[in-house]
Structures are given as structure tokens and as C-alpha cells.
Structure 1
Amino acid sequence: MRDLLKTSKKCALGALLGAVLSLLAFGEARAANPLELNFWLNGPRYDGRVKPCEAALPTITSQFQEKESTYWNSSLVITAYGNIHETAFRPWQSDNMPRRYCAGEAMISDGKVRQVHFSIIEDGGFSGYGQGVEWCVVGLDRNWAWNPACKAAKP
């Protein structure tokens, strides 16, 4: 009985402490003062210097091979590219992240030629460092991230 009383007192104390901390944390919301407002926050400075389409091909090749072997237990790899061309550059407003949209054909190790759609994004790499690449191979988008037929990977 004694242990039960100690336990209930500890629970009540914990609940009271939690209530006090939540009131302090979510108490009164105030606007930012002039020092907090835009302090070292200059906003994005995009130069629009995005690499040409061909610069993304080694990245696509390695990421495709890694995805196929790791997630789909497949030995498919991209063996060659052809007809690589730009489809759009900064298709939206100028204050968005600059992107170069490209398309082409990829020869897969199973002997089939498939369409590949990709974009190169300024400051789109890991943690905003470097240029990032998003890509989709038509017919091999097995997790349907860009479906239907890689439409979401196009501008």
C-alpha cells in the first residue's frame, strides 16, 4: 500500500510539472523584434548557373544502379545515353530555384531503350550544397514516385 501511495504521488507530481512546462512553452506568442526580423536572412541568391544536361549523366547512372540493386534486387544498369537535350530552363517565376529540365534516351542493360527525364537544380544537393539531380526512367519507376510515365519529372 505504501508503494502505491508513493507511485501515485510521483505521477501527480509529473503531471503537474508537465502542465507547468507546457504553459511556459506555449504561453504568449509575440512578434519578432527588429533585431530578430531579417537578421542575417538575406534570402536566396540564385545566380541561375546550372550545369548543362550532360553533366548530370554520371550521377543518374550511379544512382540508377544503386536504386536497382538495393531496392529492387535487380542487376539493371544504364549502359549508354543518346539524344540528350534541354526541354526547359527556369520555366516558372524567376525567384524560384533555377532548374534545367532535360530529356533523352537511355540504353538499359536488358537491351531496351527507355526515355529518361531529369532536372538539374541549383543548390538542390544534399543540405542545399551543390547542384542536385532528380531523374526518372520511363517504365522503371517502380515505386511510382513520378507516375504516370514520369510525367511529374517534366516541367
Structure 2
Amino acid sequence: MRELFKSFSKSSAGAAFAACLALLLGLLAFGTAAEAANPLEMNFWLSGPRYDSNVPACEQALDTISSRFSEKEGKYWNSSLQITGYEKVREVAFRPWAANSIPRRFCSAHAMLSDGKARWVHYSIIEDGGFAGYGSGVEWCVTGLDRNWAYNPACKAARP
């Protein structure tokens, strides 16, 4: 066994490594090529999403945010906080990323809470972002009340 290892010198070890590398590259070169979808797949089964940038206005998501906020505060944080009203509702950006990304409308508003404090709410309305892709989805964050730190720091991840 010792003589087997002695027979490998530095030059033969390099040659063996080069031979293994050449063999590996040769095997990869003769693999099958990727093929495009056939006409049946393209026209029937793989239709894909057709986004037409039909995203509701910023004001239409406020009721959803209010109800989900009070549900989250009551269920998970044992708090009776509720959003009682909004002001300064404005659109921040619409489709701020690449043209082929999912259409989103980013908005901000001042929310009046039941504890008497006003806080910023940053949210986005996502086309076909609802449950199972049906309807618009809403992602939101109330500044200072992101208790699970999903959008920290200061709801920065909820903005464009």
C-alpha cells in the first residue's frame, strides 16, 4: 500500500487531477440541451399571470388595514388598540421597480389610534396578491407598532 502512494509524485498527482477535471467537463458538455415549452404548454397550461396594472386607489385599502390591525392587536398582543381614522392619505409610488414585476401601489397615511396618538401607516396594494391570487392583497405596517419586527426599522421594509 505504501508503494502505491509513493508512486504518485507531485507531477503525476497534478496530471490525475487534470484528467479528472477533463472527464467531468466532458460529461457536462454532452448533457441534453434545454428545450422551450411546446405549443400546447405555452397556449393552454402555462398561460401565466397577465398583469394589467389594475390596482385600486390608496383609499380603498384603509378599511382592510383597520380591521386587520384591530384583529392582530387583540389576538396576538392582547391589546385593545384600534385605528379610528386616517388623514394625509397619499400615494408614494406606483410600480417603482422593473416593468415586469408585479404591479404594486405604495401609499402612506397618518392613522389616528384609539390611544390618542397619530402614527404613520405605510402600505402597499398588490395586484392579484390576495388569497390564492384572487383580488388585491394589502401589506401594511404601523410605525412604532411593528411588534414582531416584520418591517423594521421604522417600517422601512414596507416602503418602496
* TM-score (ref. length: structure 1): 0.77
Q: Which residue of 1 aligns with 2:73?
A: 68
How big is the shift at 1:112? Answer: 0.3
Counterpart residue number, 2:38 = 34
Residue aligning to 1:125: 130
Residues 62-141 of structure 1 mapped to structure 2, 5 A cutoff: 62-141=67-146
What is the count of residue pairs matched by the alignment?
127
Q: 1:58 aligns with which of 56, 63, 68?
A: 63
SS at match of 1:58: helix
Q: Which has the higher helix share?
A: 2
Task: Give the alignment's TM-score, normalised by structure 2.
Answer: 0.74
Instruction: Choose 1 or 2 for highest CA Rg.
Output: 2
- 1:95: how far off? 1.1
1:44, 1:84 → 2: CA distance? 30
Alignment correspondent of 1:153:
158
User: Helix, strand or coil for the counterpart of 1:44?
Assistant: coil
What is the distance in 2 between the residues matched to 1:43 and 1:35? 14
What's the CA shift for 1:43?
2.2
- Separation in 2, partners of 1:131, 1:34: 32
Q: Secondary structure at the match of 1:127?
A: helix
Instruction: Report the Cα offset of residue 104 of structure 1.
Output: 1.1
List alignment gaps of at least 5 residues for structure 2.
1-32
Deviating 4+ runs (over 6 angstroms): 30-33
CA deviation after TM superposition for structure 1 residue 35, in Å: 6.5
Letter in 1 for 2:110: E
1:34 CA drift (Å): 3.3
* Separation in structure 1 between the aligned mates of residue 151 and residue 96 of structure 2, nearest angstrom: 18
Question: Matched residues in 2 for 1:49 and 1:37: separation?
Answer: 27
Aligned residue type for 2:70: Q
* Structure 1 unmatched runs, 5+: 1-29
Secondary structure, aligned partner of 1:80: strand
Cα deviation digits, residues 43-83 of structure 1 (max 9, x gap): 22100010000000000000000000000000000001000
1:36, distance to aligned residue in structure 2 (A): 7.1
Give the superposition deviation at 1:31. Answer: 6.7
